[in-house]
Structure 1
């Protein structure tokens, strides 16, 4: 066990967490103080608007229609999937708003002080991959902007590594802007998200008006009939797999690590209210507008264009193209910052708290996004969807385990200071809860095996949703055995249910930027 003397060298260590092990704590991982949690409902609504108003939204809804759904069926899939995700996020988000801790620290309660590094690392790797995909889409919008503004830009079309040199430069510009924003910390991100999310409507509304001017009614996208012969066939072969795929393709990962953001919430009600207006409702409006715009571009050009950058070029109006490219690039950036940079920054910091800070880990995540070669993933929809299903197979079980552990085993209670110390109730066996990790391995294995064994292929098709259910159920089934084992103490609920800023009668501490990014 690390001595208190060494542990107290953790910079910024609050008195109530004295004795923390430096392998488990640094200023970026410590709980956000109650008074410093000041994100309100609008902050979260704008955050989610920015995350769903992205270039990838066009591609997702287009992919569903391309596989045989009508536009209305695709929109129904999107709405139901988001309602399911909203319910799950309301559960996981409460951990952050009540206890002020990031996902990687919360995971220690179920997986052990060091065992939590397993799901945290997996989540971080997935987030970096998504950062690469979203950044590529954002870079294509910047490329349109520069190509529309400067004719010479379009001539830089020599291809290197499969993409033209002007797009390479656009990607470097986009990556650099992300660097600049993340260096200024979470308070800057909060302000950025407050206007970046709604900004997309600046361009979406005139684009919808333009689309209606090119169509008689709602156009070819909405005239496209479903390829399913009956409602039953659609429900079994289209709707249910579509919901599962959409969850994998959208916010399955955010369900797991939402505490990374809600740890700054003024109250749990604020984050849930913002979630409702910003996720299911805004998604339905945005995707409906996207379908109308694509329908208009098809009527005007005869081509089905699901990349918004291609739509902006097809319109042929320089003003709309420039404003649209800026808006899409900014909105896509807001997705990346909240969903795909904040998360891996905490996850990787949790792995090496003595060497990594939030800023260093975030910068490393941005660089690693290049290694995924997102331009290759986006060339083949089958490859992309293969990646998405595997994401669900890995992330889903960890989510189910944590929800079961927190609500049914811990009863919503955590002894937060003990999460930063060794040899506590959360220590398990040498820092690893082998029961929970075993359930994670079995659940993930079952979902992944479906892509190799035809008899259980359905486990892979529904991995994002099934993984949560399997992880949840298997964790509860193994509890009677675990409570008779040598680490039975690890499953004893201790601590309290936390508190919220909104419940303070009087704030005596001056609100400050979140401590998670205030130190190097």
Structure 2
């Protein structure tokens, strides 16, 4: 699709390129929006987190309550940012200009891009791990895996990581339409494999069970480093599970408009979100819980990673099918959550020099550089909470600005004009930056780098960030005299 900047009066070349322009071609119906979520959720990390949270709940009933509550919150929040995308047709960094200023929007854009680079590396490492688990069935590969090491990993892990990393670059060659086509089959394919995995283990376990047979001492051992208050099954633990589940999607609360902007209407977004979020999230989480229980009954140990389970399969064919499916699933989430966003985010910094593809390449390169340090290794709950809390304040500022300050109406043309409504203080909106900065201090910096706050604070860091930044921003803007904006 080619869009001329003639459609935006007085558009500045420093703020505009074809990829950042308002979407004109809108063919992402409910099924494509649904598959944004199947691609995002159905990954090795998604399964790993769901299985980890299941242990914190202690029983299936508790798990359904906690995950169900979290999923409904996610549905509501995604509709908020998704509808903004439909109405304006702009990607996340351009939407951020309305609250942070035409140049200040680069701050939230780069924060989101850096987070995406971390997640890109984490998901790529998970996908390559599934391939490694398959290859080490061969004695020769196992020997190579055990005896050759560099960059802090085995030689086999490094090779598999690089191969998976490179494959993902091929998907973005044709732009967003290729992304849509890829996710439309990748997400459902993972569902099929997850069901096969669950059925296989249930058959080996001798039946299907919603009753957890995992002893409490094992649950305590497996969850002691999760940073979650209370023992598994307690009220405090269940509240933390819901909070962590909500925080897991913190990055996409910001940039879901990167996808919803291609939808023809708000109904398509709501219907796609309904099936893709509360319905799909609950079913996926249930399958993860059933699989975790069955794997414990079959193998006598708690296996949270799907590749750990598939590595124990007697059937080489099933192990191959599982490894390939999980690799494809992780490619799907990386493209949706961790490639598209930084591609737009980096493009927003230098629109004249960086387009969608170049922005994606930059993100992939940063993830590759991070690989030797593997900052994503450790507890799933801790990693999700720490990396997600940073983005809460940005979301709070943007949503307060769009819905409470501007009442859902935005002058889209001015988002691309250097001397328009969103210039604020020389292109930077100081009030938004102050509100977001204070929010980040309380959501991420203090709970992760000091002992000044209660130990449970970090679990709810994203929520505190949204609330603190949103309230401060609204207070700072409340006295402003605002002209009535021109509807999009």
Question: Is the TM-score greater than 0.5?
Answer: yes
Deviation at 1:185, TM superposition (A): 1.3
Equivalent in the alignment of 1:224: 214
Equivalent in the alignment of 1:53: 42
Equivalent residues of 1:50, 1:334 under 8 A apart: yes
1:264-287 CA-to-partner distances (Å, cap 9, x unmatched) read 112221122111111221122122
CA distance 1:136–1:457, shift in 2 (3 Å): same
Equivalent in the alignment of 2:412: 416
Equivalences for residues 264-343 of structure 1 within 5 A = 264-343=262-341
Equivalent residues of 1:136, 1:374 under 8 A apart: no
Equivalent in the alignment of 1:450: 447
Q: 2:142 aligns with which of 146, 154, 159?
A: 154
Q: Which runs of 5+ in 2 are unaligned?
A: 221-229
TM-score norm. by structure 2 comes to 0.90
Equivalent in the alignment of 1:240: 239
Report the secondary structure of 1:356's partner residue: coil
1:204 is aligned to 2:194:
yes
Distance 1:213 1:258 in 2: 39
Distance 1:390 1:119 in 2: 17
Distance 1:77 1:473 in 2: 27
Deviation at 1:370, TM superposition (A): 2.1
Equivalences for residues 429-508 of structure 1 within 5 A = 429-448=425-444, 449-451=446-448, 452-481=450-479, 483=480, 491-496=482-487, 498=488
Distance 2:84 2:394 in 1: 15
Distance 2:359 2:462 in 1: 27
1:434-472 CA-to-partner distances (Å, cap 9, x unmatched) read 111111111111223234244455543311122222222
Deviation at 1:220, TM superposition (A): 9.8
Equivalent in the alignment of 1:398: 394
Deviation at 1:203, TM superposition (A): 1.8
CA distance 1:50–1:393, shift in 2 (3 Å): closer
1:201-222 CA-to-partner distances (Å, cap 9, x unmatched) read 3222222221122225546972
Deviation at 1:54, TM superposition (A): 0.8
Q: 1:31 aligns with which of 16, 22, 25?
A: 22
Equivalent residues of 1:220, 1:299 under 8 A apart: no
Equivalent residues of 2:152, 2:372 under 8 A apart: no
Distance 2:381 2:11 in 1: 42
Report the secondary structure of 2:205's partner residue: coil
1:55-80 CA-to-partner distances (Å, cap 9, x unmatched) read 11232133234446334423432222
1:123 is aligned to 2:112:
yes
Distance 2:317 2:374 in 1: 31
Equivalent in the alignment of 1:18: 9
Q: Which runs of 5+ in 1 are unaligned?
A: 1-10, 499-520
1:89 is aligned to 2:89:
no
Distance 2:302 2:161 in 1: 25
Equivalent in the alignment of 1:76: 65
Deviation at 1:19, TM superposition (A): 1.7
TM-score norm. by structure 1 comes to 0.85
Equivalent in the alignment of 2:181: 191
CA distance 1:240–1:50, shift in 2 (3 Å): same
Equivalent in the alignment of 2:227: none
Equivalent in the alignment of 1:170: 160
Report the secondary structure of 1:450's partner residue: helix
Report the secondary structure of 1:428's partner residue: coil
Deviation at 1:308, TM superposition (A): 0.8
CA distance 1:146–1:258, shift in 2 (3 Å): same
Q: 2:127 aligns with which of 138, 153, 164?
A: 138
1:102 is aligned to 2:91:
yes
Equivalent residues of 1:211, 1:295 under 8 A apart: no
Distance 1:424 1:116 in 2: 15
Distance 2:309 2:295 in 1: 7
RMSD of aligned C-alpha atoms? 2.4
CA distance 1:214–1:129, shift in 2 (3 Å): same
Equivalent in the alignment of 1:502: none
Equivalent residues of 2:54, 2:289 under 8 A apart: no
Equivalent residues of 1:69, 1:238 under 8 A apart: no
